[in-house]
Structure 1
Amino acid sequence: MSKIVLAGINSQYVHLNLAVRYLKKYVEANSDLKIEIYETNINNQVFNIIKDIYELNPDKIIFSTYIWNKEYIVEIVKELKKVLPNVEIILGGPEVSYKWEKFMANMPEVDALLLGEGEKVILNFLTKKDKKALGVVYRENGEIIFNGIEPIIENLDIVPFPYEDWELEDRTKIFYYESSRGCPFSCSYCLSSIDKTVRYYSLDRVKKDLKRFLDSPIKLLKFVDRTFNLKKERYMEIWKFLLENYREGITFHFEINANIFDDETLDFLEKVPKGYFQFEIGVQSINPETMVAIKRNNILDKLAHNVRRISRNIHLHLDLIAGLPYETYDIFKGSFNYVYNLKPEMIQLGFLKLLKGTQMYDEVEKYQYKYYSKPPYEVFSNEFISFGELVKLKNLEKMLDYYYNSEKFRYTCDFVIKNNFDTPFAFFEKIADYYDKKGYLKISHKEVALFNILYNFYVENNLKDLDIFVEFLKYDYLALGKPGLYPEWLKSNKDSELHNQLIKDSEFKSVREGHKNSELEEFKYNIFTNKRENINIFFNYKTKKHEIIFK
């Protein structure tokens, strides 16, 4: 029996490849074949991957190919064929499905491609001796042959649960799960818009699968359903099941359309324990012309109302895309400020990628797009926004990650914006320009350096109420954890006697343990009431609670 290896090359170490697990389980459930999974990430060196695969000594190796790993896999395949000339190399996934004739012509090292939904295609490819399975592109007598697309699976319940029991013991990895396939929407930039047929796993099957996750110690499960909340009866039943079987320490991540929640759904979500659910909401743009061009319809008042209702206990990620049609640099500011003012935990600022097979890819000339010719096909410019302006947004994205998405400057950031800038965008634009001029964008920074740079930015730009700003900055710095060092701007003023008494009154085993796990600091401004008054704040890093002591 030939040795078959499925290779999943992920974007990060913490990710698990869902596709290769589904393929392995489906083949093994429907044949006598055994498949081995080889999994790594794009940060691994090519030579190490070639060495690993060589040592596995496969007869067939099948790569799962995506936008983040295509160039990497192409390089691996070219070199792998030199050391394993007789191994059969097969590729599947969205990045080899579009214009497959050209890809095969340019890659003689590749023996076959698997196109379309993978489970039935890979099973037939591996079990049919003549290779003439639907969904397979192969070489025969110097010709490239394709027999047509394999019909999609209608009953998804025949696809086995993807994970092994031992895998579910891993507390460090991000697990992925699907309860449906397909998407009914037609967003012009998205590959999911190609398959408008939405298919669902049965609710009994989904509940059975989710119980396995709930009974395990995993910490994060991400649903990959393109829009989870399409059918209210269905998604509410799943959410109620998760609430009835609540387990502390696990978070469920869903991609949702927040426009379509009604009051009953919002009332339910207010009962969900904080941190149990995490929502990703694609806003992308609030510009009316842009929304029409990309076939999205945000009802802005309703979206804002719904987001604010659920933000009390649901961890929110809101998405924006720069480089969309009709959105100039100045118009994009409006989209950014709208999302920022909704105060999600994370703002994901992405940049348009022209994916082959999408409507947006076919509109390159219409909007005068210039874009990177290799994956990830990111946009350089269009008729509405220049390359220089997108570079400025790239720099701003880094500031957003430093000073907002990190949640390390929670109080300081708000103070700086409210007291010195007309809009949130104006602040992030200004500090991005500061980083650029100082050369700070080209180097990585430790945590304390981000605080120091923000302080210097404030001073050098002569922003108002420096003394109050320092109090906010000091609080955010001390809230992170026991300081290893005190920056020059943080003038510490401790009451040691009070600190010792507070330690004794707390549940520390000893004064020594208390000093290791707490801090006391005097503030001359109460950042919570916005009043000039002297207070002490006791930071208990063990309980992660911070107590205000008036003295």
Structure 2
Amino acid sequence: MKFLLVAVNAKYIHSNPAIYSLRAYAGAKLQQYVELAEYTINQPMEEILADIYERKPDVAGFSCYIWNWRLIQELLTELAKLLPETDIWLGGPEVSWDAENILQKYLQVTGIMVGEGEATFKELLETYVRCGGAGEECGEAAEKQRPGGIQGLSARAEAGYWNVEAQWKKIPGLYLRSGATPPRAQVKLDDIPFLYQDLSLFENRIIYYESSRGCPFLCSYCLSSLEKQLRFRDINVIKKELQFFLDNRVKQVKFIDRTFNCNYEHAMAIWSYLEEHDNGVTNFHFEISADILREDEIELLGRLRPGLVQLEIGVQSTNPGTLKAIRRVTEPEKLEKIVASIGRGGNVHQHLDLIAGLPYENYESFGRSFDRVYRMRPEQLQLGFLKVLKGSEMWERAEEYGIVYRAQPPYEVLYTRWLSFEDVLKLKRIEEMVEIYYNSGQFTHTLPFLEKAFSNPFVMYEKMAEFYGENGYFKASPARSYRYQVLFAFALKYDEKREAVYREFLTYDMYLREKVKSRPVFAVDLSGYRESIRDFYQEEERTRRYLPDYAGYDGKQLSKMTHLEPFFWPVWDREQVAELYESTGTENTRNDRERKAEFVLFDYRRRNPLNSEAETCHVVCRQTENEV
């Protein structure tokens, strides 16, 4: 007997902790009957179907989410044709809240595991092993009596040879064609075995870890608000499991706790342990509510190694009416102070989220929310769009709010009483600009300067989206290196008199990221500075004043491994952006050669662990007369 658990992930680097948790909870004796299969939504359906067919499972269980449900629906239809004797079970948030309708639509589905699945799956698996072809009890005898033409284990049960249906009705947490069984009591997290004994299965993939379940908040768009009881894994067990990741130098561990810091003692214990046992490599991701952080939590975070921790903070909106409607407990003023405090440490990556399409948030209001969060200067600003999830309060009140959303997953908002579809399309284009130019981290010095040319950041990205549309870039997206040139053209359209300064900002940002092979077209002409650059590297070969880590390399090799660039404007000084903008507004800056060049050395062996920017330093170069 083979029970195949199927996961279809959004990307290859993702894994599905649900199917690993189901198998682990089943216990050592039953695990021999369980096989796991992971795919991605980017694979052709036919390829996934063929692989499942070749595995020949007696039972197949699918883990269903908004990102894979459309593909799984295709698989359900075709799999039943190829493996008519295979029972099909579903589980996961996408099917738990609409089980009756799904069973009516897909007659090939045997049943649905509703809610938490660990204990439910174990009991279901035991039933199949006992009476489903494992040679135990009634199974062996039943196989001998199987009548021709009867298909599927459940069909055989209906024929009277196995009374499996009666046994299923005794299992809490199922939805059968005869109706729902009693609700399943929540499992204790300490009863779930550690999922990652064999890390070879997760090579080059994100490790997901769960230290708690449930959420104390009641956000109306989120299914976690329906799980009232908040449960935690024993802290001593957690420490032991975290040490396993640290000892194995796992690249990233992503906590899937809905609000990690909802319990102060729990969060402090874990962050303190990571501080004390940091291996210098592993990154840990946490989804938190920042405005409930205490002073000592912020202080602890400020002590951590750069890159040890990254925080995802769901702001969603700063509109008071919207926050009240979605039951979101957020104090924007307090949030601003805390994000700024964490940001000053320069060691924690902060990812802030906004959601478009919420009640009482129109286009202008969203723009104000955007500007307020943008000015917090997170490392990433995620613009999301409301997804009306089955079972959530937002789903139940969608008609009341005038929220119209897509009929198919991910059930994303089309328009609301406050936000038109045209507005949604504009925000989609702005979202793409934010992804390309802000979240990429490629323009960290150019953008703050460019913002000064516009009334606010939201308008800048709005105009940027219009510029992209006018030039056809949404249909033919520019290559990563060409995006610098596109941004240069955009800057000149709105602020031509500062041309030379934009040239230098973009040059600085480009060389911060990489030693480019071809010199960018907007960079200054180096013809008058090549002798000074050559002299610098020859001198560095002798003295190692600036590059002590490059022992054994000659000057020519040093020049290929690092980069030296002359600048006429202090584009590296983020603190002086406003002053620089004002000082360059009185005349056209193209005559930059009247200023004396300062040389900046970019060292690509030394990078900022938070943003991967090259380490820089100012160097003293001998300048010839025609360079001054």
Q: Which residue of 2 aligns with 1:408?
A: 442
Instruction: State the Cα deviation string for residues 195-225 of structure 1 (Å, max 9, x = none).
Output: 1110111111111111111111211111111
Q: Identify the residue that residue 149 of structure 2 maps to in structure 1.
A: none
Q: Residue 81 of structure 1 aligns with which residue?
A: 80
Structure 1 counterpart of 2:558, from 503, 514, 525: 514
Given candidates 215, 229, 241, the residue that maps to 1:209 is 241
Residues 394-445 of structure 1 show CA distances to partners (whole Å, capped at 9, x for unaligned) of 1011110111111000000111002x01211111111011101212112233
Correspondence for 1:105: 104
Residue 28 of structure 1: aligned partner: 27
Distance 1:174 1:251, change over 3 A: same
Following the alignment from structure 2 to structure 1, what is the Cα–Cα distance between the partners of residues 536 and 507? 18
How far apart are the structure 2 equivalents of 1:464 and 1:5?
Answer: 65
1:31 is displaced (CA, Å) by 3.6
Q: Is the 8 A contact 2:89 2:109 kept in 1?
A: yes
Q: CA deviation at 1:499?
A: 4.2
In the alignment, the residues of structure 1 paired with residue 331 and residue 596 of structure 2 have an alpha-carbon distance, to the nearest angstrom, of 44
Matches within 5 A, 1:52-451: 52-128=51-127, 129=131, 130=164, 131-132=168-169, 133-139=171-177, 144-153=178-187, 155-167=188-200, 170=203, 172-311=204-343, 312=345, 313-418=347-452, 420-451=453-484
Counterpart of 2:154? none
TM-score by length of 1: 0.95
User: Which residue of the partner structure matches residue 583 of structure 2?
Assistant: none
User: Structure 1 residues 462 and 203, CA, compared in 2 at 3 Å: closer, same or farther?
Assistant: closer
Q: Deviations over 1:472-510 (max 9, x none)?
A: 011011111111212322234143323423652234332
**TM-aligned CA distance change 1:30 to 1:196, over 3 Å:** farther
Give the AA of the match of 1:443.
Answer: A
Say whether the 8 Å CA contact 1:114–1:136 is kept in structure 2.
Answer: yes
Amino acid at match of 2:570: N
Question: What are the equivalent positions in structure 2 for 1:432-511 lying under 5 Å apart?
Answer: 432-493=465-526, 494-495=529-530, 496-501=533-538, 503-504=540-541, 505=544, 506=547, 507-508=549-550, 509-511=552-554
Q: How far is 1:43 from its partner?
A: 0.6
Alpha-carbon spacing, 1:178–1:30, altered in 2? closer, same or farther (3 Å) = farther
| Deviation (angstroms), 1:53 | 0.9
Counterpart secondary structure, 1:61: strand
Displacement of 1:168: 7.3
Question: Using the alignment, how far apart are the partners of 1:228 and 1:175 within structure 2?
Answer: 16
The offset of 1:109, in angstroms, is 2.0
Is 1:523 aligned with 2:567?
yes
**Partners in 2 of 1:103 and 1:181 — Cα distance?**
26
Could you tell me whether the CA contact under 8 Å between 1:185 and 1:193 is conserved in 2? yes
When structure 1 is superposed on structure 2, of 95-104 and 127-136 the one drifting more is 127-136
Tell me the SS of whatever aligns to 1:110: coil
TM-superposition CA deviations, 1:284-310 (whole Å, max 9, x none): 001000000000122122111111111
- Post-superposition Cα deviations, 1:493-544, rounded to whole Å, max 9, x if no partner, equal 1433234236522343323432331111111112134576521112222223
Are 1:541 and 2:585 counterparts? no
Q: Which letter does structure 2 place at the counterpart of 1:519?
A: H
How many residues end up aligned between the 2 structures? 543
Using the alignment, how far apart are the partners of 1:148 and 1:486 within structure 2? Answer: 68
Q: Helix, strand or coil: the match of 1:283?
A: strand
Pair member with larger Rg? 2
Return the alpha-carbon distance in structure 1 between the equivalents of residues 473 and 540 of structure 2: 40
Q: CA RMSD in A?
A: 1.6
* 1:37–1:539 Cα change, 3 Å: same
- Corresponding letter in the other structure for 2:247: D
* Structure 1 residues 492 and 6: alpha-carbon distance in aligned structure 2, compared to 1, 3 A threshold: farther
CA distance in 2, matches of 1:212, 1:204: 13
Q: Which moved more, 1:122-131 or 1:406-415?
A: 122-131
One-letter code of the match for 2:615? K
Q: Could you give the per-residue CA deviations for residues 232-263 of structure 1, whole angstroms, max 9, x where no partner exists?
A: 12211111111111111111111111111122
Cα pair distance change 1:503/1:73, threshold 3 Å: farther
- Contact 1:290/1:324, CA 8 A, preserved across alignment: yes
Q: Closer, same or farther in 2 for the Cα pair 1:73/1:497, shift >3 Å? A: same
Distance of 2:110 and 2:3 partners within structure 1: 14
Shift of 1:459: 2.2
Q: Which moved more, 1:18-27 or 1:478-487?
A: 478-487
Secondary structure of the 2:261 match is: coil
Kept after mapping to 2: 8 A contact 1:520/1:539: yes
- Separation in 1 of the partners of 2:439 and 2:484? 15
Superposition deviation, residue 390 in structure 1? 1.0
Opposite residue 445 of structure 1, the aligned amino acid is P
Report the CA distance shift for 1:188/1:522 in structure 2 as closer, same or farther (over 3 A).
Answer: same
Tell me if structure 2 keeps the 8 A contact 1:182–1:198: yes
Please state which structure has a larger fraction of its residues in helix. Answer: 2
* CA distance in structure 2 between the aligned counterparts of 1:472 and 1:114, rounded to whole angstroms: 56
**1:76 to partner: Cα distance:** 1.2
TM-score, normalised by the number of residues in structure 2:
0.84
CA distance in structure 2 between the partners assigned to 1:501 and 1:109 by the alignment: 75
The structural deviation recorded for 1:135 is: 1.5
Amino acid at match of 1:545: E
In the alignment, is the contact (CA less than 8 A) between 2:503 and 2:524 conserved in 1? no
CA contact (8 A) 1:526 1:534 kept: no
Conservation of the 8 A alpha-carbon contact between 2:89 and 2:111: yes
Q: Which amino acid aligns with 2:385?
A: F
| Cα distance between partner residues in 2 of 1:469 and 1:376 | 40
Tell me the residue number matched to 1:51. Answer: 50
Letter in 1 for 2:537: N
Segments of structure 1 that go 5 or more residues without pairing to the other structure are none
Matched residue SS, 2:538: helix
Distance (whole Å) between structure 2 residues aligned to residue 70 and residue 515 of structure 1: 53
CA distance in 2, matches of 1:492, 1:127: 74
Find the aligned partners of 1:319 and 1:167 in 2 and give their Cα distance: 33
Equivalent-residue separation in structure 1 for 2:29 and 2:482 (angstroms): 56
The SS at the match of 1:440 is coil
Task: Name structure 2 gaps, 5 residues minimum.
Answer: 132-163, 581-594, 607-613, 622-628
What is the one-letter code of the residue matched to 1:83?
L
> For residues 32 and 318 of structure 1, what CA distance do their matches in structure 2 show?
40
* Cα distance in 1, alignment partners of residues 118 and 462 from structure 2: 47
For 1:536, the aligned partner's letter is F
**Inter-CA distance 289–361: structure 2 relative to 1 (3 Å threshold):** same
State the secondary structure of the residue aligned to 2:514.
Answer: coil
Q: CA deviation at 1:99?
A: 2.2
Q: State percent identity of aligned pairs.
A: 38
